[in-house]
């Protein structure tokens, strides 16, 4: 078999596999699993998040029970709302507890620090950046 034919077959197989594998649904905010966690911000990460479906801001929070990833909200929303959390800040997060990629995680509704509280979702979990 010639190399171009092998490449074509490989591409076709890849496309078929991608279409055949069920796509994961985005996690949703569940008010019944709401918890409050406190800890120190170890790291702030901005990356594409499958939960929000866009570039989001995430915190790695050191708590008394270990490290928790906090899915905060869209990066663009934070820019317009005086986001002022820094590595080393002590914060309190109210949000929906979940497991994400095999680890404990929280989808934040509010994040509080010495500089104030920022809300990201309504009490039902609907993001404030969604009309």
pLDDT band at 80 (very low <50, low <70, confident <90, very high): confident
Confirm whether pTM is higher than 0.85: no
Q: What is the pLDDT of residues 19-59, one digit of tens each?
A: 333 344 445 788 999 999 999 999 999 888 776 677 888 99
According to the model, what pLDDT value does residue 20 have? 38
Tokens for 84, please give them: 């002022």
Q: Is 53 domain-assigned?
A: yes
Domain span holding position 86: 31-119
The terminus-to-terminus CA distance of the chain in angstroms comes to: 55
Tokens for 33, please give them: 């699993």
Q: Is 26 domain-assigned?
A: no
Q: Is 9 domain-assigned?
A: no
According to the model, what pLDDT value does residue 54 have? 78
The tally of domains found in the chain comes to 1
Q: CATH code at 105?
A: 2.40.50.140
Mean pLDDT of 95-117: 88
Mean pLDDT of 86-101: 92
Beta-strand pair 54-63/66-74: antiparallel
According to the model, what pLDDT value does residue 17 have? 38
Nearest to 39 by CA among 20, 7, 63: 63
């Amino acid at each position: 078999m010639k190399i171009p034919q092998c490449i074509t077959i490989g591409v076709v197989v890849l496309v078929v596999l991608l279409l055949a594998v069920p796509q994961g649904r985005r996690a949703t905010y569940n008010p019944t699993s709401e918890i409050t966690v406190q800890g120190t911000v170890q790291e702030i990460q901005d990356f594409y998040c499958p939960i929000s479906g866009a570039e989001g801001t995430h915190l790695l929070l050191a708590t008394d029970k270990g490290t928790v990833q906090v899915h905060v909200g869209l990066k663009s929303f934070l820019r317009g709302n005086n986001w002022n959390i820094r590595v080393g800040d002590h914060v309190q997060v109210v949000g929906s507890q979940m497991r994400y990629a095999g680890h404990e995680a929280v989808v934040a509704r509010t994040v509080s620090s010495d500089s104030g509280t920022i809300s990201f979702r309504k009490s039902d979990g609907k993001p404030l950046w969604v009309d």
